[in-house]
């Protein structure tokens, strides 16, 4: 299934994308796509719903983030060797973990809003997992069983705040609109091998990132298990798993986003996003 949320910001309704690319309204079956509806029982119930029996939704409707009321938005840094090399950073021996504020989350095609202080604004195409079951100290062999689905994440980054302002990376990762998610949440039955997904990003029509999850240092299952050693993961928690090479910081000379730039990104089977950078 491809689950989504549609409508104006703050008033999104639950939906799904059928096999013909038509958005269908799930409101009859769910109040929303959120913590209480991401468990296996709820997803199994939705599998029995015939999409063509649901009301259709106009294709030009705004898409919101596919999951509502996210409490934990966890990120992994430097998870592709070539990205660590391009940023002149040692290859980590354990996953580098930081947080993005949940208030940074927006829909896949919402504008990225920047102010004058974010003058080193960078792009990072990533694939995230959404947790569907309670998981604490879970073994790696069982980690993927906790996944409710996969989605595209744009880990927008203010490199100046991240690098020069001291402390945790959360400072450069958490401004409003710095966490576009979607367009939809794809359930694991449609992603048989998450470690073999192409991922890409372009800026103003020029490809800047093109890679595969096969090049991740730490796998999805390792990351989920690793994070669960330090905190209890709950339904609705998002873990985004790092970006490949091709970020603006790694270019020579570095290149950063500016108002008016158009970013497009996507991944195999997970859809794509499109954003415009707008000055506040």
Task: Write out the two tokens for 264.
Answer: 């497009």
In this prediction, residue 6 carries a pLDDT of 98
In this prediction, residue 257 carries a pLDDT of 97
Write the CATH number of the domain with boundaries 67-279: 3.90.850.10
The per-residue pLDDT for range 134-179, each reduced to its tens digit, is: 999 999 999 999 999 999 999 999 999 998 888 789 999 999 999 9
Q: pTM, whole model, 2 decimals?
A: 0.96
Task: Let me know how long the chain is.
Answer: 280
> At 164, is the secondary structure helix, strand, or coil?
helix
CA distances 39 to 10, 128, 161, 174, Å, are 23, 17, 37, 27
In this prediction, residue 83 carries a pLDDT of 86
In this prediction, residue 82 carries a pLDDT of 85
Strand partners, 16: 3, 24
Residue ranges covered by each domain of the chain: 67-279
In this prediction, residue 94 carries a pLDDT of 96
Instruction: Pick left, alpha or beta for residue 209 (phi over 0 → left; psi -120 to 50 → alpha; otherwise beta).
Output: beta
**Is pLDDT above 80 for 116?**
no
Task: Write out the two tokens for 3.
Answer: 């689950």
**Is pLDDT above 90 for 45?**
yes
Q: How many CA atoms lie within 13 A of 184 on its CB side?
A: 22
Give percent of the chain with pLDDT exceeding 90.
90
The per-residue pLDDT for range 233-280, each reduced to its tens digit, is: 999 999 999 999 999 999 999 999 999 999 999 999 999 999 999 998
How does the average pLDDT of the chain come out, rounded?
95
In this prediction, residue 56 carries a pLDDT of 97
- Whose tokens are 């992994």? That residue is 76
Mean pLDDT of 180-201: 97
Terminal-to-terminal C-alpha distance of the chain = 36
């Amino acid at each position: 299934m491809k689950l989504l949320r549609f409508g104006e910001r703050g008033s999104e309704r639950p939906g799904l994308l059928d096999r013909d690319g038509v958005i269908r309204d799930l409101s009859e079956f769910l109040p929303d796509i959120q913590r209480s509806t991401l468990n296996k029982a709820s997803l199994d119930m939705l599998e029995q719903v015939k999409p063509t029996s649901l009301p259709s939704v106009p294709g030009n409707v705004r898409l919101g983030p596919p999951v509502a009321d996210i409490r934990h938005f966890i990120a992994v840094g430097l998870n592709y060797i070539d990205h660590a090399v391009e940023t002149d950073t040692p290859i980590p021996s354990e996953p580098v973990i930081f947080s993005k504020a949940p208030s940074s989350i927006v829909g896949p095609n919402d504008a990225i809003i920047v102010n004058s202080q974010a003058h080193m604004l960078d792009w990072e195409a990533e694939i995230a997992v959404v947790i569907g079951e309670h998981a604490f100290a879970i073994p790696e062999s069982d980690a993927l069983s906790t996944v409710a689905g996969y989605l595209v994440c744009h880990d927008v980054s203010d490199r100046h705040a991240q690098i020069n302002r001291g402390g945790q990376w959360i400072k450069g990762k958490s401004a409003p609109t710095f966490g576009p998610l979607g367009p939809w949440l794809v359930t694991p039955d449609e992603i048989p091998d998450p470690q073999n997904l192409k991922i890409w990003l372009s800026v103003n029509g020029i490809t800047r990132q093109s890679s595969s999850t096969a090049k991740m240092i730490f796998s999805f299952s390792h990351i989920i298990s690793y994070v669960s050693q330090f905190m209890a993961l709950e339904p609705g928690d998002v873990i985004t798993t790092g970006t490949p090479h091709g970020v603006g910081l790694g270019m020579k000379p570095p290149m950063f986003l500016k108002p008016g730039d158009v970013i497009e990104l996507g991944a195999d089977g997970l859809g794509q996003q499109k954003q415009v950078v707008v000055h506040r």
